[in-house]
Structure 1
Amino acid sequence: MSDEVDFTEYVTQELPGGTVEERSNGVRPAQPLITQSSTLSSIPEDGVIEPLIERTIAPNSYRAPLDAKSRYSRSSSVSGEIQLENCDLCSADAMTGFYCMYTNDEMLFWPPRDVCESDEELYRKILNRDVIGNKDFMIHEIQHVCRMNFPYRMGVICETLEEHGISLSSDQVTGQMSETPLHVALIYNSTEVASVLMKFGKTELIIRRYQTSQCEGTTALHKAITKRNLELLEEMLSYLEPDEKNAFLHQQAKGEYFRGKVSQAGLPLTLAAVVGDTAIFDELIQQGSQVDAVDDATGNNIIHSLVHFSLHQPDESLKMLQHIFQSTLVQQWWLKRRGMSGMRLTCSEYRHLKICLLKLTNYDGFTPLALSTYLRSPEVCQFLMNVDDVYKFPQWRIGPTSVNYYDIAEIDSSMSNYTKPTVMDLFIYSSDTDHLEFCKIPLIKELMERKWQAYRKLFSAFFFFHLAVMITLTVNCEMKISFKSIIPTSNTTEKVVMRQLVQPQAESWPYLNPIDIMILVLSSLYLVVDVFHSFRLIWTFYRRWFHLVRHRKWASFKMFIASPAIWQMDIFRVMLFGFSVSYVTSIALRILGHHSAEIAMAASLIFGWVFLLCFTRALKSIGVFAVMLQRMLLGDLIHFLIVFGVIIIAFTSAFRILFFKIHDNFIVPDQVTDLPMTIFNFLRLTIGLEEMDIFEQAAHPVMVKVIFMSFVLLANILLLNMLIAAMSDTYAEVTHQKYDLWLKIRTKSICLIEQHLPTFMRPSFGVIHRKREDDQGEIVDLWLLPVEEYAGQKTTARDFR
């Protein structure tokens, strides 16, 4: 063929750069042997080359792994041109630098195939001549061979590098993101090339880490785990000494890219659990990985990380959790850690193993159980609640019926005196429509029903008591208003007598009667109890905040602030607090003789009566409507008012300007005398209580009509209908989940009453107090809730979807 390239002739040509030393000093060498658009003299007659390179893709795109069916062949239309057929461009792990990217004119120093024994000497000469001494060409060739999995070709490269004293772990052969050849081979799962690299590179290459911020700390072990390559993992660990192996097994990947992709699984063993490969997981434990190792940045152990991963793959996370607690290798690791190697695992030691993994709190103060609630993973939450001898203690079983004791110290915050985040806190004090799937968990459902049965009498008594207070307060205010508004008769004698009798009553208004004093004491009691509860929460918050600051966990501190269980703001509590403050304020203003006392009294009446609606949340039929009203007022209506406020200010200010003439004395209509009055009249117009007939009095009547019609179209037609549509969506959403929502808001009301009561006044709902020894030898409290269960009532993960 006339267009073939003679490799032997090319090797003997004189290059412009001269020697290797000259090229290493910055002299650009000759162009490489061929490009992808060139033809190859070594193409067999059948037109197929084995093994094969991938086709060119768009510039600045990363390579994809090569499909086994892909082949380079001669094009049927253009003689000698190479074409890729059946290419499967799957996405690869983008953890390599600039040299792993394609360009349209990619440089090739050798045909896209491995070297054979007859080609080895020729390829070695090309390496010495064109590659060694130029970092760009050298890295390009090495990473190209790693991607294509050419082991014999990589062997020649490694031998050539050794001859020139270049280490495979040195910066001379690492890419732009500090990736070594071994990293690239593992990214593309090139097993044979990786074996060759480890044979030549030894320990230095294996333990080399990424240095860039995106991939900091990532090692070849992490890459082998993500590719599920057990063979390479065993081989690389065999090259390491015991001390090196221990450090390597616990090397944490801290890079932003890596951690973002694998749900905070920075440790190799945690990564293996997240990947879901039980064989690799068991191998790492056999090699010496510690099951209870924690992440330096978050304090998460392996169970915490699986809880994070359950947001994406709940079924896979549950399978790995079951494997961890049932694995004999994990049990042997625990016995070895406790100095009991070779002994049989007792029930007590097995319980301590599970406690060690499940009771650890991370830097946010969350155990795995609390974290599963915070992240809204009901499948994992239910699984953890049913772990025997930690949260669940089976008692007896008869046929399908069984009785189990559940430790609710981490489930019900009243058992721990609100010193740590619990399942009920994170579940109850979230948004009304969040975490509703937790109502399907049998234990949560049973606990909510027990609380209602224990507190319903107190709840009802509180309702009737507050109703009586509000009726008394309203009648008392009405009587005072009636005394001041008596109209005398036409009889002069009666007029004098009535004024003599009524006037002292009217003058006694600034002073207090017994009803005022009674309600003042009651409001003050409300206020004192609420303030005391608030200070208790603040003190709890301060203690945990001090703990976080002492350990300098600022990221955890931010997450702690975001926890809904800290602030516990509810309309129930807001209304009661507003009633107490406004009534005490009105009494104080009356004593001082201030004219604003009536305003505070009016506010107390509104807060007090609306507070009664909070009690309707205990009723299944009415409680959902109370929640709808709250959602619409605090959600849809506020969003509407923000947009509507901007629109009305814009149009009213423009509307009013058009009624003035700068140089003439002009009489302004009463509807637009000032901006507040104009806004008020436009609001009345929006709801149909006002009519505008002042257009002809404007300085610019036509423009006024245009602005007025624009406002009517935008506000009355568009915005109001959007508000109605938003409220309809809210109604449909609440109605769809009304039963679970009703259970949640009813329990929320009960918990708010429970929190404000002293411990000795809280009614019991069947909780049994016990003590036991934990894995550290300390005595801890158990608060056990007996629950009768039936085998047919078991809830599965599918029920939460």
Structure 2
Amino acid sequence: MELTINVDETTRNGSLLFKAARTNDTGAMKKLLESSDVDPFIRGNLEETILHTALLNDNKDVMEVIVEMVPSLINEPMTSEMYKGETPLHIAILKQDINMVHYLLQHGADPIHARAIGSCFIPGPYGQCYYGEYVLSFAACLENEEIVTLLLKHGAPLQAQDSLGNTVLHVLVLQPDKEMACFMYDIVTSFVTNKQKHKVQSIENSNGYTPLKLAAAEGDTQMFNYLVQKQKRTYWTMGTISYCVYDLTHIDTWGDHKSVLDIITSSKKMQVRKLVDIRPVKELLHHKWKTFGLKYFMLWMISYIAYTSIFTAVCLYRPLKRMPDNQTDNFTVMIQKTLAESYRTKGDYIRLSGELFTIVGAVVILASEVPYLARIGPRNFFGNASIGGPFPLLMVAFSFSIFIAVIFRLLGMEQESIPLSVALIIGWCNTIYFARGFRMLGQFSIMIQKIIFGDLLQWCCLLFISIIAFSSALYILFQTLDLTNYPYFRDFQMTLYTAVELMMGLIDFPIPYNNVTPSFIYIVYVLYMIFAYLLMLNLLIAMMDDTYWRVAQEREELWKVQIAATILLLEKRIPKFLRHRSGVPGITLGFNDDDKWYFGVEEIIPEEKGKIQAGGIHMAKSVGWEVIRSNLARIANMKEYTESTPF
């Protein structure tokens, strides 16, 4: 009985506390907090404290009373699942009340460690807003310059990472209001030195993305262009022509296995592909393709075609002999020679050299493709046309087919022709991959991949069900008849093959019309032709037509991404001593404050009257005109600074 009275009294006093906080009743709040029967740390329905309630209701007077009488509440977070971690400082920032924020900071509010990690503040279907958990991120996302400045002056860290590894700069990149995000990005980074700024901008989140890479991964062309332009330096200006150098850090693949170029070529998002036309990515890819990509690609293509031709030749002239008359089955006239009989003449040894060359090539293909497949992951084997789609996987199948044929040859097995025929089909079909190197043919390679692994796979799944259904029905109907008169339906396998031929319109209904055939068979046949031949076949044509026009709208963009993917593939596969780094080192350009590499781009600027400006604001003191003049020709073509060093 006594316990019940105390609980009721505590509950009543708690209600009075929250009522005073909501109504801004400072007198009642003081009396309640002075009472020994009141627990100032009592929680509400959402696990909020009375200080949270006062701030949520914009009651500054009662808030000051609570802070003065119970100062430890100032950093108490909510503990409910939805609002877990939200402190009074978070609420004051969300209210955008600069006076409340200033007051809380003066009285010990923590701007460094306070984190709102409730489900309300995380990205996803259940989150209502994602502001990065920390108070600085909250203020930046709400575009309150005064509060951001105040928090930074009180030590709020730019490098603090939330549960997703995102800093305030990452969070700004993700904001939908790009104009606001760019403005606040400038404000936040203006409080640190250039060296610290570079360090903060190089922090990677849980996915390995810096702010620049995150903008690329999101396909945010506006934010990406803004971040790139921030790193641009003007090298010289002459009238309306300006020569600018762009920082290649995080953009180029040199020393970075998750660069912007890697993101562009591996992403399936349509908006990400648009980055290939943004400076300096466009100019960098063009430079790479012209300086080494096209040369090595053509060498690779010619080598592969020559290799496949040699393999075809050794297959066409594989060792066969005439079957003895006493062993003939009236169908087979040639059989495989034994291993001892296969290598006797001069022509046999010439063929042997081609066979050994083929085996060595298969080993090389396997050694290069398996690590690549392991790196890109199974999701990209078929879905991503930019990085080759199924071609790397087909190359592995090609190598295995050759190895199986070698085993059959050594064991003297007559089934050697099966893996050889599979390898020939795969080997020659893989030459379609090299169509990507040509503007006119590249789009067809894309369309073939899109149709096969998009439309055709879906259509085949539906067709398989219908063929199985009607084949089973036809076979059951023919089981009771004299199958010598119906050879096309003599067993289920033959019935299934006949159904495929009928579906493709290759044959007429193969029954003797002079024999009496049950009428229901004709009914099933008519239904099958309506469903499989008229409906399904025309559906496939319509789907392929839709895919063609859809791909045609973006074929130029897709082709450019394929070229980019090919360049990166060549960079990773050519020997180290042949690899070249694009751009020029900053120290060569007179930027003595860093070890970055830059890529030069000539730009047209609005016409301005005046004399030639050399070096811009970054080089006016450190580099004279003589240095600029000596390096001008070099940076214009970027050919003398292709440093041959490993990735």
Please classify the TM superposition score into its range, dividing by the shorter chain length.
0.7 to 0.9
Contact 2:365 2:395 in 1 (8 A): no
RMSD: 4.3
Q: Distance in 1 between matches of 2:556 and 2:379?
A: 30
Alignment match of 2:552 (pick from 735, 746, 763): 735
Alignment match of 1:150 (pick from 23, 26, 29): 23
Residue 278 of structure 1 is matched in structure 2 by: 145
What is the letter of the counterpart of residue 500 of structure 2? L
After superposition, the C-alpha distances for 1:33-64 in whole angstroms (9 at most, x for unaligned) are xxxxxxxxxxxxxxxxxxxxxxxxxxxxxxxx
- Aligned pairs for 1:325-474 (under 5 A) are 325=189, 327=190, 330-331=191-192, 350-388=193-231, 392-413=232-253, 415-416=254-255, 420-431=257-268, 433=270, 435-454=272-291, 455-474=293-312
Cα deviation, residue 660, structure 1: 4.7
Cα deviation, residue 170, structure 1: 1.5
Q: Distance in 1 between matches of 2:433 and 2:103?
A: 66
Q: Distance in 2 between matches of 1:322 and 1:718?
A: 59
Distance 1:293 1:433, change over 3 A: closer
Contact 1:576 1:607 in 2 (8 A): yes
Distance 1:226 1:701, change over 3 A: farther
After superposition, the C-alpha distances for 1:508-555 in whole angstroms (9 at most, x for unaligned) are 4899542452364255246326525754896x89xxxxxxxxxxxxxx
| Sequence identity (%) | 24
Matched, 1:608 2:427: yes
Q: Distance in 2 between matches of 1:559 and 1:660?
A: 45
- Aligned pairs for 1:184-333 (under 5 A) are 184-187=53-56, 189-192=57-60, 195=63, 198=66, 202-240=70-108, 245-246=109-110, 249-260=112-123, 261-263=128-130, 265-295=132-162, 297-307=163-173, 309-310=174-175, 312-325=176-189, 327=190, 330-331=191-192
Cα deviation, residue 445, structure 1: 0.5
Distance 1:471 1:526, change over 3 A: closer
TM-score by length of 1: 0.63
Q: Distance in 2 between matches of 1:614 and 1:471?
A: 16
Cα deviation, residue 315, structure 1: 3.0
Cα deviation, residue 145, structure 1: 7.3
Alignment match of 1:723 (pick from 532, 537, 540): 540
Give the number of equivalent residue pairs: 582
Distance 1:300 1:199, change over 3 A: closer
Residue 618 of structure 1 is matched in structure 2 by: 437
Distance 1:196 1:722, change over 3 A: farther
SS in 2 for 1:404: strand
Contact 2:131 2:141 in 1 (8 A): no
Contact 2:29 2:62 in 1 (8 A): no
Residue 169 of structure 1 is matched in structure 2 by: 41
Distance 1:581 1:314, change over 3 A: farther
Q: Distance in 1 between matches of 2:402 and 2:531?
A: 41
Residue 568 of structure 2 is matched in structure 1 by: 751
- Aligned pairs for 1:554-565 (under 5 A) are none
Q: Distance in 2 between matches of 1:505 and 1:205?
A: 88
Cα deviation, residue 237, structure 1: 2.6
Contact 1:659 1:698 in 2 (8 A): no
Residue 577 of structure 2 is matched in structure 1 by: 760
Q: Distance in 2 between matches of 1:164 and 1:561?
A: 66
What is the letter of the counterpart of residue 767 of structure 1? G
Cα deviation, residue 268, structure 1: 0.8
Q: Distance in 1 between matches of 2:27 and 2:363?
A: 81
Cα deviation, residue 257, structure 1: 2.3
Q: Distance in 1 between matches of 2:355 and 2:570?
A: 20
SS in 2 for 1:254: coil
Contact 1:364 1:559 in 2 (8 A): no
Cα deviation, residue 280, structure 1: 1.6
Q: Distance in 1 between matches of 2:378 and 2:61?
A: 44
* Structure 1 residues without counterparts, runs of 5 or longer: 1-18, 27-131, 332-349, 487-498, 542-557, 794-801
Residue 42 of structure 1 is matched in structure 2 by: none
Cα deviation, residue 290, structure 1: 1.8
Distance 1:275 1:264, change over 3 A: closer
Q: Distance in 1 between matches of 2:380 and 2:538?
A: 37
SS in 2 for 1:442: coil
Structure scoring higher RCO (CA < 8 A, sep ≥ 6) equals: 2
What is the letter of the counterpart of residue 750 of structure 1? I
What is the letter of the counterpart of residue 244 of structure 2? N
Matched, 1:638 2:422: no
Contact 1:766 1:786 in 2 (8 A): no
SS in 2 for 1:789: strand
SS in 1 for 2:122: helix
Residue 615 of structure 2 is matched in structure 1 by: none
Cα deviation, residue 568, structure 1: 6.2
Cα deviation, residue 711, structure 1: 4.0
Matched, 1:527 2:363: yes
Distance 1:576 1:790, change over 3 A: farther
Cα deviation, residue 143, structure 1: 6.0
After superposition, the C-alpha distances for 1:597-617 in whole angstroms (9 at most, x for unaligned) are 212221222222222222221
Distance 1:445 1:471, change over 3 A: same
Distance 1:431 1:249, change over 3 A: closer
Cα deviation, residue 684, structure 1: 1.8
Contact 1:191 1:232 in 2 (8 A): no
Q: Distance in 1 between matches of 2:65 and 2:526?
A: 78
TM-score by length of 2: 0.77
